[in-house]
Amino acid sequence: MDTDVLHLRASGVSVLLDLSDGRLPRIAHWGADLGSLSDEAAAALVSTGRGGFAFGGLDSAHAVSVLPEHSYGWLGTPGLEGSRAGRDHSTRFVVTDVARTPDGVEVTADDADAALRVRVDIELLASGLLRARATLTSLGGEPYEVSALAPMLPVPPVAAELLDFTGRWLRERTPQRTPFTVGTRLRESRAGKPGHDSAFLVAAGTPAFGFARGEVWMAHVAWSGNVRTLAERGRAGDSLIGGGELLLPGEVRLAAGESYASPWVYGAYGATGLDEASARVHRWLRARPEHPHRPRPVTVNTWEAVYFDHDHARLLALADAAAAVGAERFVLDDGWFRHRRADNAGLGDWHVDEGVYPDGLGFLADHVRGLGLEFGLWVEPEMINPDSDLARAHPEWIAQAGHGRLPLEERHQQVLDLTHADAYASIEERLHALVAELRPAYLKWDHNRVLLEAGSSATGRPIVREQTLAFYRLIDGLREAFPGLEIESCSGGGARIDLEVLGRTDRVWASDCNDPLERQSIQRWTQLLVPPEMIGAHVGPPAAHTTGRTASLGFRFATALFGHLGLEWDVTADDAVAARDEIAAWVALHKTLRPVLHGGTVVTTDLADDAYAVHGVVAEDLSEAVYSIAALRLPLTAEAGPVRLGGLDADASYEVGVLVPDAGGEAPGRALPAWWGRTVTLTGRALAVRGVQVPALPPEDAVLLRARRVGDR
Ligand code: DGJ
The residues spanned by each domain of the chain are: 64-287, 602-709
> For residue 512, how far is its CA from the centre of ligand 1 (angstroms)?
7
Cβ within 8 Å of residue 534, ≥6 positions away:
285, 292, 502, 506, 507, 508, 564
Ligand 1 nearest-atom number relative to CA 509:
3
Q: Which atom of ligand 1 is nearest to the CA of 493?
A: 3
Which mutation among 172, 334, 339 tests ligand 1's pocket best, with the greatest number of atoms within 8 A of CB?
Answer: 334
Closest Cα to atom 5, ligand 1: which residue? Answer: 512
Strands 329-332 and 374-379: parallel
Looking at residue 266, what is its pLDDT? 99
Q: Which atom of ligand 1 is nearest to the CA of 490?
A: 3
Cα 616 to Cα 646: distance, rounded to the nearest angstrom: 8
Instruction: Compute the distance between CA of residue 428 and CA of residue 483 in angstroms, rounded to an integer.
Output: 16
Distance (Å) from CA 600 to ligand 1 centroid: 30
Which pLDDT does position 23 carry in this prediction?
96
Task: Check residue 671 and give its pLDDT.
Answer: 58
Provide the 3-class DSSP secondary structure of residue 373. coil
CA of 425 to the centre of ligand 1 (A): 25
Q: How far is the CA of 77 from the centre of ligand 1 (A)?
A: 38
Q: Give the active site residues.
A: 446, 512
**CA-closest candidate to residue 632, choices 529, 520, 713:** 520
Residue 602 CA to ligand 1 center (angstroms) comes to 28
Residue 26 near residue 18 (C-beta atoms within 8 A): yes
Q: Please name the residue whose Cα sits nearest to atom 2 of ligand 1.
A: 492
CA dihedral (604, 605, 609, 613) positive or negative = negative
Rounded alpha-carbon distances, angstroms, from residue 529 to 126, 173, 190, 698, 706: 17, 11, 21, 31, 24
The span from the CA of 247 to the CA of 605, in Å, is 39
Q: How long a stretch of residues is the chain?
A: 713
pTM of the model: 0.97
Cβ neighbours around 39 below 10 Å, total: 11
| Residue of 304, 378, 496 with the most ligand 1 atoms within 8 Å of its CB, for mutation | 378
Q: Which residue has the CA at smallest separation from atom 1 of ligand 1? A: 492
Tell which CATH classification among 3.40.30.10, 2.60.40.1180, 2.40.50.140, 3.40.50.2000 matches the domain 602-709.
2.60.40.1180
Rounded Cα distance between 272 and 407, Å, is: 47
Low-confidence residues of the chain, pLDDT below 70? 1-2, 53, 662-672, 712-713
Q: Which of 611, 14, 17, 185 is nearest to 1 (CA)?
A: 17
pLDDT at 444 (0 to 100): 99
**CA gap 113, 111 in Å, rounded:** 6
Q: List pocket residues of ligand 1, CB cut-off 6 Å.
A: 303, 333-334, 378, 446, 448, 490, 492-493, 509, 512
Q: Report the topology of domain 64-287.
A: Beta-galactosidase; Chain A, domain 5 (2.70.98)
pLDDT for 29 equals 98
H/E segment holding residue 702: strand 701-709
Helix axis angle, 312-324 relative to 580-597, nearest 10°? 60
Amino acid at 586: W
Mutate to test the pocket of ligand 1, among 171, 333, 411, 535 (most ligand atoms within 8 A of CB): 333
pLDDT at 585: 97
Crossing angle of helices 516-526 and 553-560, in 10° steps, is 10
The Å distance, Cα 380 to ligand 1 centre, comes to 9
- Ligand 1 centroid distance, CA of 445 (Å): 9
**What is the side-by-side strand order in the sheet with 144-149?**
80-83, 144-149, 253-254
Question: pLDDT at position 663, please?
Answer: 47
- pLDDT, position 257: 98
Out of 445, 512, 545, mutate this one to test ligand 1's pocket (max ligand atoms within 8 Å of CB): namely 512
C-beta separation of 528 from 218 below 8 A: yes
